[in-house]
Amino acid sequence: MTPGTEIRVVVVDDHAVVRAGLAQLLCGAEDIDVVATAGGGEEAVALAAQERPDVVVMDLQMPDVDGVEATRRIVAAGSAQVMVLTSFSDSERIEAALDAGAVGYLLKDSDPEDLLAGVRAVHRGESPLHPRAARQLLGARRASPGVELTAREREVLGLVREGLANKQIARRLGISERTVKAHLTSTFATIGVQDRTQAALWAERHGL
């Protein structure tokens, strides 16, 4: 790689020691330049907009704005490509991060060379996935049989995806707020989610 064409990276992690260690590791590679580090999601979004890096290495659990929401904002703004680096390997978090626009998902127990390779892969337009994350995704797909929702439940779920509150959904559909709550309770149980955020992500994945 010629001088001045290094892969520009922003590292995001709420633990200062981890953040410093990652920056040191990445800067040790001749083709990677860490242009900034952030300790939270809000700071990450601001730095990505300011620095316009090639890749953001993003932790998921942070005290202010979490990594999924920060990823969504960074991707929506076109500021950078995001590669998640986290200790969480459950399918729900993996899907949420990928749905938010992350193009890679590595775990913190990855070998240092795998992290470097992941950053390079994202820069090339590829989507690196830790083997355990890939297995979780495949397992989740096999464990999710087709679900049957009523026409009204699909309507309500679609409006939840749009971000409408129960009162707004009731007004839009001409039904009572209590009926909306009943439909949501039934829908959550049918699709196997616990809250509106998870339901909205499910609806987005399934094209509602």
CA separation, residue 122 to residues 15, 106, 119, 125, 131 (Å): 24, 11, 5, 5, 16
| pTM over cut 0.85 | no
Cα dihedral: 204, 92, 76, 9 (round 10): -160
Give the tens place of pLDDT for each residue, 8-64: 999 999 999 999 999 999 999 999 999 999 999 999 999 999 999 999 999 999 988
Beta strands 55-58; 7-12: pairing state: parallel
Give the tens place of pLDDT for each residue, 56-91: 999 999 988 999 999 999 999 998 999 999 998 887
CA separation, residue 137 to residues 47, 86, 118 (Å): 31, 16, 18
Give one DSSP letter per residue of 105-135, joined into a string. Answer: EEETTS-HHHHHHHHHHHHTT---B-HHHHH
CA atoms in the 13 A half-sphere facing the CB of 100: 27
